[in-house]
Structure 1
Amino acid sequence: MQIIHGIAQLREWRKTAGRVAFVPTMGNLHEGHLALVREAKRHADAVVVSIFVNRLQFGQGEDFDKYPRTLQQDADKLEGEGVAVVFAPDEKELYPRVQQQYNVEPPHLQNELCGAYRPGHFRGVATVVTKLFNIVEADVACFGKKDYQQLTIIQGMVDDLNMNIQIIPVDTGRAADGLALSSRNQYLSEAERAEAPRLYRELSKMAKAIAGGNVNYAELENQATANLQEAGWQVDYVEVRHAGNLQVAHAGDKHVVIVAAARLGSTRLIDNIEVFID
């Protein structure tokens, strides 16, 4: 496995790499990331994993400075998975002007759900992903469904801008108690970690009700929010959306997704569950 820091070197490697699958990450890898890598291996001759903590997608007061940077441990895990290249540029390599002057602007969806609480976040995501797609020139890229809004925006960007890459969604990795795997889970105290699976349990109750024919989405959203708040959570949102485009769901939709974000102590957790309705 090679660890490449420069764009020119990666492009030189790419010339003879055959079919390439790409997994973009910010590092501090866990089992959820490795599941993306394993899926990527099914679709290509070689897998490239990027590790880059992207300043553009962090808002003021967020955890950019303390976000865990564990390149050597990450590289050891990826080598064990048979990854061909780890692309780990520094900021000057990826942003030579320091201030990015041209950005990729997603549609209004970027200002809803998580975007309402993290202004500019999805602009930062779309911009860095576009840059990485242009550099790696992969045939396919794997993204986790845990960040369903991110996945939807990236897929829309690829479609609208005619990018020559296939996006492969990968199911959310979970701990045995249902908590969605996340690098930020390590911020949780012991008591918070024990409480954290409640978010998934509340979404699961909603999913069961919807699959059983309950389309009073507002009532379900309000009840789940109240249950979380009573347990000490600060809820940003719990909403039922159309799974294809993340527009507000309506009775009659056959495929919806329940999306949620809430804070437990100082840690913000996100999760979602898709529901197929007969």
Structure 2
Amino acid sequence: MKIINTIEELQTIRKELKGTIGFVPTMGALHEGHISLIKNARINNDIVIVSIFLNPTQFLPNEDLDKYPKKDAADKRICELCKVDYLFMPDVNSMYQSNDEISIKAPKITGFILEGEKRPGHFDGVLQVVLKLFNLVQPSNAYFGKKDAQQLSLISQMVKNLFLPINIVECDIIREADGLAMSSRNIYLSAEERKEALAISKSLNMTIIAVTKGERDAQTIKTKMKEIMSNLDVEYIAIVNRNFEEIQTIEVKNTIILIACKVGDTRLIDNMWI
């Protein structure tokens, strides 16, 4: 595995690469969720490139940029074990060259609901850095987890709207043995908070059981989910179709149920695709 730290080196290497390129963009602190993306890329591409870049433009002023977990040595080892070909680890000054850059704006509707409403400007930063990385890596396939469902939808829309020749590969959520969705922020949870957080996946699992038994009313399902998560600080429960339009009736194979909540001081998101 070769580690690349500069834009210029990546561009030089990229010109020489042949075959399909699988790309996994990350912010580091890699876990089994990231590993599943890398493994998918390894199986289906000639070359695998992973990036680790803690992107400041997607964090709001009061968020956890400064304390976001950094595990560079462990991340490098994980990438080596997963047989990554190139690991791109640029610094902030390389990725953002001025304070007056051309910016990318999230869509006016789907970019400003749910996570976009709770974290205004977040998706602008996400789309900006992903577009930069896409332009540098020029991947054949790019791998993203379904856990960040709204992000995944917006990146797919950006690829479509800007005519980028990239296939976006949606990858299933990877969970801990107890059901908690893998997240770099899980390390913030105390032992007691970790137990409390299990109400999130429990509420989502309940929706599968309810739908299997024939329940289709979105409000009924939301009410039951709130009961299960009554001890958590729930920011939102949303039931939408794949276009992120709110729906009142569950549509099998076209529904996403999303949750955002705080467990202690830690903000977690999770979802279920039905």
Please classify the TM superposition score into its range, dividing by the shorter chain length: over 0.9
> SS where residue 73 of structure 2 aligns?
helix
Distance in 1, matches of 2:166 and 2:108, equals 20
What does residue 120 of structure 1 align with? 121
> SS where residue 240 of structure 1 aligns?
strand
Offset from partner CA, 1:146-204 (integer Å, 9 cap, x none): 11111111111111111110000000010011100000000000111122121001011
Q: Which runs of structure 2 are paired with 1:29-44 in the superposition (5 Å)?
A: 29-44=30-45
**Matching of residue 210 in structure 1 with residue 208 in structure 2:** no
Where do 4+ consecutive residues of structure 1 move more than 3 Å?
Answer: 98-101
Q: Which runs of structure 2 are paired with 1:51-200 in the superposition (5 Å)?
A: 51-200=52-201
Cα offset, 1:223, TM superposition: 2.8
What does residue 256 of structure 1 align with? 255
CA contact (8 A) 2:6 2:94 kept: yes
CA contact (8 A) 2:217 2:248 kept: no
Offset from partner CA, 1:231-263 (integer Å, 9 cap, x none): 2x1101112111x21111243733211111111
What does residue 244 of structure 2 align with? 246
> SS where residue 196 of structure 1 aligns?
helix
Distance in 1, matches of 2:37 and 2:183, equals 13
What does residue 237 of structure 1 align with? 236
Distance in 1, matches of 2:199 and 2:10, equals 43
**Matching of residue 28 in structure 1 with residue 26 in structure 2:** no
Cα offset, 1:13, TM superposition: 1.1
What does residue 266 of structure 1 align with? 265
CA contact (8 A) 1:225 1:237 kept: no
With over 3 angstroms needed to count, the CA separation of the structure-2 counterparts of 1:252 and 1:74, relative to structure 1, is closer
Distance in 1, matches of 2:238 and 2:212, equals 15
Deviates more, 1:36-45 or 1:212-221: 212-221
Q: For the aligned residues, what is the CA RMSD?
A: 1.3
What does residue 225 of structure 2 align with? 224
Structure 1 gaps of 5+ residues are: none
> SS where residue 102 of structure 1 aligns?
coil
Offset from partner CA, 1:108-141 (integer Å, 9 cap, x none): 1111111111111111101110010001111110
Distance in 2, matches of 1:170 and 1:133, equals 18
CA contact (8 A) 2:217 2:250 kept: no
What does residue 11 of structure 2 align with? 11
CA contact (8 A) 1:234 1:263 kept: yes
State the one-letter code of the partner of 1:10.
Answer: L
CA contact (8 A) 1:142 1:169 kept: yes
With over 3 angstroms needed to count, the CA separation of the structure-2 counterparts of 1:99 and 1:51, relative to structure 1, is farther
State the one-letter code of the partner of 1:43.
Answer: N
Distance in 2, matches of 1:270 and 1:124, equals 18
Distance in 2, matches of 1:120 and 1:71, equals 27
Distance in 2, matches of 1:62 and 1:78, equals 28
CA contact (8 A) 2:29 2:184 kept: yes
Distance in 1, matches of 2:75 and 2:125, equals 23
Distance in 2, matches of 1:252 and 1:207, equals 11
Distance in 2, matches of 1:173 and 1:227, equals 22
Deviates more, 1:191-200 or 1:101-110: 101-110
Distance in 2, matches of 1:240 and 1:252, equals 8
Distance in 2, matches of 1:28 and 1:274, equals 25
CA contact (8 A) 2:239 2:255 kept: yes
Structure 2 gaps of 5+ residues are: none
Distance in 2, matches of 1:58 and 1:129, equals 14
State the one-letter code of the partner of 1:262.
Answer: C
Work out the number of aligned pairs and report it: 272
CA contact (8 A) 2:216 2:251 kept: no
Q: TM-score, normalised by structure 1?
A: 0.94
